[in-house]
Amino acid sequence: MTLSTTAKRLLAAVTFGVLALIYLPLLVVVANSVNSNESMTWPPDHLTFEWWQRAWHSAGARDALLTSLEVGAVATGIALVLGTLLAMALQRYSFFGKNTVNLLVILPIALPGVVTGIALNNGFRGILGIDLTLWTIVIAHATFCIVTVFNNVQARLRRMGTSLEEASADLGAGVFTTFRLVTLPQLRSALLAGGMLAFALSFDEIIVTTFTAGDGATTLPIWILNNMFRPNQAPVVNVVAVVLIVFSIIPVWLAQRLSSDVDAVR
Amino acid sequence: MSHVADPSPVLDKAPAPALRGPAARPVSRLLHRRVWLRLTLLLSAPLAWMILVYVVALAALLITSLWSVDSLSSEIDRTWTLDNFRTLWESDVYRRVTIRTVSVALAVTVIDVAIALPIAFYMAKVASPRARRMLVVAVLTPLWASYLVKVFAWRIVLSEGGLADWSGIGSPGYGLTAVIITQSYIWLPYVILPIFAALERVPDSLLEAAGDLGAPSPMVLRSIVLPLLVPGIVAGAIFSFSLTLGDYITVNIVGGANQMLGNLVFVNAGAANNLPLAAAIAMIPIVVMLVMLTAIRRTGALENI
């Protein structure tokens, strides 16, 4: 099949046009962070760094950021352990109900967010009768983060094969020694990628979070949501948004580095 | 960890190799010999977590939807009743909100697939390898940008006196159109990526062969490329549909006074303090997803994802 030059140009135009549209709203947010007009009308009339200063001194934003980092770190830790165990079980053994377990891992992220949210909310409050706290958020996040670690580790295990582990066992290494010295080093970048995804997922999650957050538990997304509608806080939210946009480049860059490492090994 | 991939009973009962290592470590030796023990140890923690936290919660959700709330004490009354579902069926509000939510999800899915197809095709089959890598990064980067930041960005763009107004295109204002635009925007990368992955697996030689045999480009696209893309499209469609169905934050931020199913769930779980009704409403998106997945399964596209 040979596409005509016109068709190719048209496809290119659509692609780059849509990409421009994808970045445009984000650029507007960046520009508005220095817009002196509080109601953020376009175009910005004067340049100001007042909002950046206020954001820097905003205790609410800083506390929320710390809370989010804390929740993300603990949830990622749990997901790393549970996801790796599951991936090893499902990739290396065959057993009854394997497909069901596979489905079970995907379910928290495949079902619409409100379903997972209300199920956990009802489970905690209605059934167990416990109050929502920061820890209920952590449990909820860990539950839907398992799948990202699981996917990454499973894909890696499939590619690794079993020959190195068999060689290790044949040479007399025990089960744990083999895991520590042979399996784990090969899993390292998969764990990093899966953990990074899990952390990003937790850091950004808002729907399930609103259903599982206790009164005092304000993660950064909840803080943004609460302050977005307050006219005098909206510009500060805008600055936080810019910071988040800048931070979001880091994982992409890291992922590129990681995948080029893998290519080099291959 | 030998012969783990397919543990046969014969190998299983064979004595561990008599080497100095394992003999000195009884636990390791036991694990080495007993496949089921290794499996149990691997599975018990994650399975316990998933079942205790999630399966039980889902089951409890179904049970709670069959309970009711005592109107006087506002305590949950644990006697079986179908009242909640009767309310959902008879009340006009729930029907309208359900139709609205499903329509928005369908619109977002159709728009995203329509936009994603040409972009994924350009990335996979037209662009040079160098440009392809850059395009993948360009599509991936906004995926990592915070969800709320993206909704907030559209709130500003569509606001009164915002960029859309200024540009002369005009803003639709906060409402369902704004919700569809914002949701399509947010979930677009989730649709592009699986379609792109499916396209990358279509060998160029296949397209060339079809061309050499005289098929015009539209025919190649329709009878060769499209059928091979179905799994990718289905995967992308499931993502965008399910994600839109379960979203209620976007409609809060750019939807004006409109409500989606999620809003009703949230209000009933929180302010209205009627968990049973909230649980019953949450059954609607579950049923919608099940219907959709069953319909897709009929076409046989699910096996290839």
- What pLDDT is stored for residue B303 in this prediction? 55
Write out the H or E segment, with its range, that includes residue A241: helix A234-265
Cβ of residue B37 closer than 8 Å to a chain A Cβ: no
Computed on alpha carbons and rounded to an integer, the radius of gyration of chain A in Å comes to 23
- What pLDDT is stored for residue A1 in this prediction? 66
B155, pLDDT greater than 80: yes
A95: domain CATH number is 1.10.3720.10
- What pLDDT is stored for residue A263 in this prediction? 42
Average pLDDT, chain B: 86
Helix residue ranges per DSSP H, A122-162: 134-160
Strand-pair partners of B76:
B69
- What pLDDT is stored for residue A167 in this prediction? 92
pLDDT band at B23 (very low <50, low <70, confident <90, very high): low
What is the chain A residue with the closest CA to B137?
A252
Are B147 and B182 in contact by the 8 Å Cβ rule? The answer is no
pLDDT digit string, tens, across residues B273-290: 899 999 999 999 999 998
Helix residue ranges per DSSP H, chain B: 9-13, 20-23, 26-33, 35-49, 56-64, 83-90, 92-121, 129-144, 147-157, 163-167, 176-200, 204-212, 217-220, 226-245, 249-254, 261-269, 275-299
Please state, in angstroms and rounded to a whole number, the distance separating the CA atoms of residues A68 and A62.
10
pLDDT band at B261 (very low <50, low <70, confident <90, very high): very high
B8, pLDDT greater than 50: no
A51 domain-assigned: no
pLDDT band at A232 (very low <50, low <70, confident <90, very high): confident
Please tell me whether residue B20 adopts helix, strand or coil conformation.
helix
Q: Is B123 in Cβ contact with A15 (below 8 Å)?
A: yes
What are the DSSP calls for B139-176, one per residue? HHHHHHS-HHHHHHHHHHHTSTTSHHHHHSS----SSH
A44 domain-assigned: no
Q: Where in chain B is the domain with CATH 1.10.3720.10?
A: 88-304
A window 172-201, beta carbon within 8 A of B: 172-179, 183, 200
pLDDT digit string, tens, across residues B180-191: 999 999 999 999
Q: Considering only the beta carbons, identify the residue of B5, B31, B32 that sits closest to A92.
A: B5
Write out the two tokens for A169.
């066992």
CATH architecture designation of domain B88-304:
Orthogonal Bundle (1.10)
Where does residue A171 rank: exposed (0-12), middle (13-18), buried (19+ CB within 10 A)?
exposed
Cβ of residue B113 closer than 8 Å to a chain A Cβ: no
Cβ of residue B123 closer than 8 Å to a chain A Cβ: yes
A239 domain-assigned: yes
First to last CA, chain B: 31
Q: Is B220 in Cβ contact with A1 (below 8 Å)?
A: yes
Computed on alpha carbons and rounded to an integer, the radius of gyration of chain B in Å comes to 26
pLDDT band at A266 (very low <50, low <70, confident <90, very high): very low
Q: Which of A141, A154, A138 has its CA nearest to residue A102? A: A154
Of the ranges A124-133, B13-22, B270-279, which one carries the lowest mean pLDDT score?
B13-22
What are the DSSP calls for A211-227, one per residue? HH--TT---HHHHHHHH
CA B51 to chain centre: 21
Please tell me whether residue B68 adopts helix, strand or coil conformation.
strand
A6 domain-assigned: no
- What pLDDT is stored for residue B3 in this prediction? 45
- What pLDDT is stored for residue B24 in this prediction? 63
Q: What is the largest CA-CA distance in chain B?
A: 82
Highest mean pLDDT among A36-45, A138-147, A166-175, B220-229: A138-147
B66, pLDDT greater than 50: yes
* CA separation, residue B228 to residues B209, B220, B305 (Å): 15, 11, 11
Q: Average pLDDT for residues B207-226, to the nearest whole number?
A: 88
Cβ of residue B172 closer than 8 Å to a chain A Cβ: no
- In chain B, % of residues over pLDDT 90: 51
Q: Which of B70, B63, B135 has its CA nearest to residue B280? A: B63
Write out the H or E segment, with its range, that includes residue B69: strand B68-69
Please state, in angstroms and rounded to a whole number, the distance separating the CA atoms of residues A119 and A134.
17
Cβ of residue B157 closer than 8 Å to a chain A Cβ: yes
- What pLDDT is stored for residue B28 in this prediction? 83
CA B229 to chain centre: 18
A212 domain-assigned: yes
Contacts with B278 from chain A: Cβ below 8 Å: 118, 122
- Nearest-Cα distance to chain A for B195, in Å, is 14
B244, pLDDT greater than 70: yes
A28 domain-assigned: no
Q: Is B289 in Cβ contact with A111 (below 8 Å)?
A: yes
A204, pLDDT greater than 50: yes
CB count within 10 Å of CB A101 equals 18
pLDDT digit string, tens, across residues A23-68: 999 999 988 888 887 777 778 777 888 888 888 888 899 999 999 9
Report the number of distinct structural domains present in chain A: 1
pTM over 0.90: no
Higher pLDDT, residue B8 or A13:
A13
pLDDT digit string, tens, across residues B29-43: 888 888 888 899 999
Please tell me whether residue A35 adopts helix, strand or coil conformation.
strand
A119 domain-assigned: yes
Higher pLDDT, residue B298 or A94:
A94
Higher pLDDT, residue A169 or B13:
A169
Contacts with B58 from chain A: Cβ below 8 Å: 119
A115 domain-assigned: yes
- Nearest-Cα distance to chain A for B27, in Å, is 9
A208, pLDDT greater than 70: yes
Count of CB pairs separated by less than 8 Å, A with B = 308
Q: Residue B106 phi/psi, 5° resolution?
A: -65, -45
Average pLDDT, chain A: 88
B212, pLDDT greater than 70: yes
Q: Is B150 in Cβ contact with A115 (below 8 Å)?
A: no
Contacts with B39 from chain A: Cβ below 8 Å: 89, 93, 95
- What pLDDT is stored for residue A259 in this prediction? 63
Task: Provide CB contacts within 8 A for A127, sequence distance 6+.
Answer: B56, B57, B60, B64
- What pLDDT is stored for residue A97 in this prediction? 87
Residue A64 structural domain: 59-265
B95, pLDDT greater than 50: yes
Q: Which of A240, A248, A156 has its CA nearest to residue A196? A: A248
B window 87-106, beta carbon within 8 A of A: none
Residue type, A223: W
